[in-house]
Amino acid sequence: VIVTPPESPLVLTAAIVGAEVTRAHTPYLPITAQELADEAARCRDAGAAVIHLHVRNADGSASQSSELFGEAIARIREKTDVIIQTSTGGAVGMSVEERLGPLACKPEMATLNCGTINFGDDIFVNTRPDIRAIARRIREAGSIAELECYEVGHIHEAIALLKEGLIGEPLHFQFVLGVPGAIMPSEAVIQFMRSQIPAGATWAVAAVGRHQRPMTELAIKLGGHARVGLEDNIYLEKGVLAEGSAPLVARAAAYAKSLGREVVDPDRARVLLGITT
Ligand code: KMH
Ligand code: ZN
């Protein structure tokens, strides 16, 4: 068992909107640029240093439009200093070129999905050539990659990208666990996944649905970082909708503090993540 000192600083990420959740699922989903900015600021106040960002069209459907991202980022910047991590995953079925829209905004951070998985009843396709093309474009945008790993083999693919010179150290892993059709979360899974990452890399857990709370707390206990928010889970408790992502962030932050872990602000997180822009 690998132990990380409990006093190690914690980076909390808020995934405030995603591509799949709709207003029919929860009325608390932010959609417009102003709603996204308001929610980002609320999450920052609750303890989030990073906002994992998707955007939506006015009708609520998922978009990777650089214009919509530009508008959302500008509004967020008016309100708060969070690290903005744009999605390059977008929604299932989008072309790679479409998914790359937000990179025109030169975000500080962008996701790099490291493999294909069954994604519920759909397939989230990330071919090896596509992963490499996206990695190059993230680098060209001057952004740093967060490595989204939905399976153990995705970690090994990320290490291959490092060896090929397509991504730089320190590596930042996000273990996305509990997607129906992919690996389910447990302590053994998290311990094995973290055992596979190179020394000096950071790791976080984003667990889906009912797994979010227990796995967030486990990651925090084990010395990892964590992501919460409506993209992955809309409930605060069974049957009780979270009134946005901020209450989920606040609960994770309170848990971290109860263990003596410092929840870092965005500037501290920039240093920890090696963001120099
Ligand atoms: N919406 C999922 C298909 C990412 O943001 O990079 C992919 C996703 C991952 O959300
Ligand atoms: Zn996402």
Q: How does pLDDT run across 182-211, given as a tens digit for each residue? A: 999 999 999 999 999 999 999 999 999 999
Q: From ligand 2's centre to the CA of 254, what distance in Å?
A: 24
| pLDDT over 70 at 240, yes or no | yes
What is the pLDDT, as a whole number, of residue 3? 54
Query: Can you tell me the mean pLDDT for 253-265?
Result: 97
Q: From ligand 2's centre to the CA of 88, what distance in Å?
A: 8
| pLDDT over 70 at 29, yes or no | yes
Query: Can you tell me the mean pLDDT for 122-149?
Result: 98
Instruction: Show the ligand 1 pocket: residues with CB < 6 angstroms.
Output: 18-20, 87-89, 91-92, 111, 113, 119, 124, 148
Reading the block at residue 231, the tokens are 């993209």
Query: Can you tell me the mean pLDDT for 126-142?
Result: 98
**What angle, 0 to 180 degrees and rounded to 10, lies between the N-to-C axes of helices 187-195 and 212-222?**
50
State how far the alpha carbon of 157 is from the alpha carbons of 115, 116, 167, in Å: 8, 11, 11
Q: Taking the C-alpha atoms of 9, 276, 110 and 138 in order, what is their torsion angle to the nearest 10 degrees?
A: -150
| pLDDT over 90 at 174, yes or no | yes
Query: Can you tell me the mean pLDDT for 160-181?
Result: 98
What is the pLDDT, as a whole number, of residue 6? 56
**Which ranges of 57-178 would DSSP assign to H, the alpha helix?**
66-79, 96-99, 128-140, 152-163
| pLDDT over 60 at 5, yes or no | no
Identify the three-state secondary structure at position 176. strand
Supply the mean pLDDT for the chain: 97
Query: Can you tell me the mean pLDDT for 149-169?
Result: 98
Most ligand 1 atoms within 8 A of CB, residue of 113, 149, 227, 230 to mutate: 113
Query: Can you tell me the mean pLDDT for 71-98?
Result: 98
Most ligand 1 atoms within 8 A of CB, residue of 111, 176, 208 to mutate: 111
Q: How many CA atoms lie within 13 A of 270 on its CB side?
A: 12
What is the pLDDT, as a whole number, of residue 59? 97
What is the pLDDT, as a whole number, of residue 12? 99
| pLDDT over 60 at 1, yes or no | no
Reading the block at residue 38, the tokens are 């308001």
Residue type, 152: V
| pLDDT over 70 at 148, yes or no | yes
| pLDDT over 60 at 212, yes or no | yes
Q: Which atom of ligand 1 is nearest to 92's Cα?
A: 3
Q: How far apart are CA 194 and CA 60, in angstroms?
A: 36
What is the pLDDT, as a whole number, of residue 169? 97
The percentage of residues in the chain with a pLDDT greater than 90, rounded to a whole number, is 97
pLDDT band at 91 (very low <50, low <70, confident <90, very high): very high
